[in-house]
Amino acid sequence: MKTLLVTGATAGFGAAIVERFVSSGAWRAIATGRRQDRLDALADRLGRDRVHAACFDIRDADAMAAALDAVPAPFRDLDLLVNNAGLALGTAPAQACDLAQWRQMIDTNVTALVTITHRLLPVLIERRGAIVNIGSIAGVYPYAGGNVYGATKAFVEQFSLNLRSDLHGTGVRVSVIEPGLAETEFTLVRNGGDQAASDALYAGAQPITAADVAESTWWIANLPPHLNINRLEVMPVSQSLAGLQIDRG
């Protein structure tokens, strides 16, 4: 049996990834996030012998280290790290943004991601494992209101590609998945809990589902070991790119 660790497994992509892998019967999972009740529900549903719940705020490096030190033996031989925990806060133009929200996105999407990766690289190298980072189309294509969120995801893309170079010869695979419009709690969080705004964004759009991202992750992780997906960009059919803007004022 193989083991994966999924950050941000209390909702959205992360919960679906844990479900997809553990339900296969071939994987056990360490599931992380801040909401203990949701981690408990996931572990109870899929089996405590198959899901280890590790509750911590990923921005708190000491709490992260303590939680990883406390992982029980069967879950310690890590084969796959899925760096998924992350968030966007706000859609205002840069000049109207709250600096605290910018810092929270950087602390979560960038600093915490590199901290947990740094901590787990030795075991991943030892086991010739894999890393799947969840980036975003927002890290590739700019849009108004994307400012720091998009920049954090651009970091995730380049960090993933650079990790591949550094891990050359170790057998460790590194991939970044870059989804477009996907219905999870993402927009609820981004808009400060405004469910109507979230519903309005996804209405009629047939967005990507969490299960779709879980399936992409499963595909990447289960390819023959001589193959590496460097970067996988996925959009719903309903979403495409539009042009540049010109100010004639």
List, by residue number, the catalytic residues.
149
**By CB under 6 A, residue 212 contacts ligand NDP:** no
- What is the greatest pairwise CA distance in the chain? 64
Give Cβ neighbours of residue 143 (< 8 Å, ≥ 6 apart): 150
- Cβ atoms of 156 and 117 within 8 Å: the answer is no
**Site mask, ligand 8X3, residues 174-213, x = CB under 6 A?**
------xx--------------------------------
129 or 236: CB nearest ligand 8X3: 236
Q: Any idea which residue has 């390819």 for tokens? A: 223
11 or 80: CB nearest ligand NDP: 11
The CB-nearest residue to ligand NDP is: 12
Size of the site for ligand NDP (CB under 6 A): 27
Residue 84: count of CB within 10 angstroms of its CB: 26
Strand partners, 28: 3
Residues 83-112 that bind ligand NDP (CB under 6 A): 84-87, 108
13 binds, among ligand NDP, ligand 8X3, none (CB under 5 to 8 A by kind): ligand NDP
**By CB under 6 A, residue 14 contacts ligand NDP:** yes
33 or 180: CB nearest ligand 8X3: 180
Q: Any idea which residue has 């193989």 for tokens? A: 2
Q: Any idea which residue has 């927002």 for tokens? A: 138
128 phi-psi bin (left φ>0, alpha ψ -120 to 50, beta other): left
Rounded-to-integer distance, Cα 237 and Cα 104, Å: 31
**Residue 242 beta carbon to ligand NDP: minimum distance, rounded to whole angstroms:** 17
**By CB under 6 A, residue 185 contacts ligand NDP:** yes
> Sheet holding 27-33: strands in order across?
51-55, 27-33, 2-6, 80-83, 130-134, 173-179, 231-234
90 or 146: CB nearest ligand 8X3: 146
Joined together, the tokens standing for residue 196 give: 């109507």
**Site mask, ligand 8X3, residues 121-160, x = CB under 6 A?**
---------------xxx-------x--------------
Q: Which residues bind ligand NDP (CB under 6 A)?
A: 8-14, 33-35, 57-59, 84-87, 108, 134, 136, 179, 181-182, 184-186, 189
